Structure 1
């Protein structure tokens, strides 16, 4: 059986944030982990899906500017095609 293919595009942000411990929020830093590292925290994903990971930026959401939108657009278009 062929695995479904997923195209994941990482931009950083909250989901890629990290702190010294799950119970500590005072040293939380957004955009600390790559998308590949986030995906690797759930090993079953790579077992069930053929995953393509693209990381056009690694920013906190408050640092994303209009010029980054073009990079994101290009990554989405490449994944779709």
Structure 2
């Protein structure tokens, strides 16, 4: 029976990430005619290496507001 030679592959480095939840506005500051999305803050975090990977709603006091999940590799 023939055996297949094994090739030693270099180890794949594991990438670690850190995560951040960012509420886009506090519910108490929202008004019906206001835009709840404030992209300037996300742009600033993007310049620091954060990437938006999820969006959800946080509920409380009969209101909901968007919360963004960000991640970046740990250096």
- TM-score surpassing 0.5? no
TM-score (norm 1): 0.30
TM-score (norm 2): 0.31
Bigger radius of gyration: 2
Structure holding more helix per residue: 1
Structure holding more strand per residue: 2
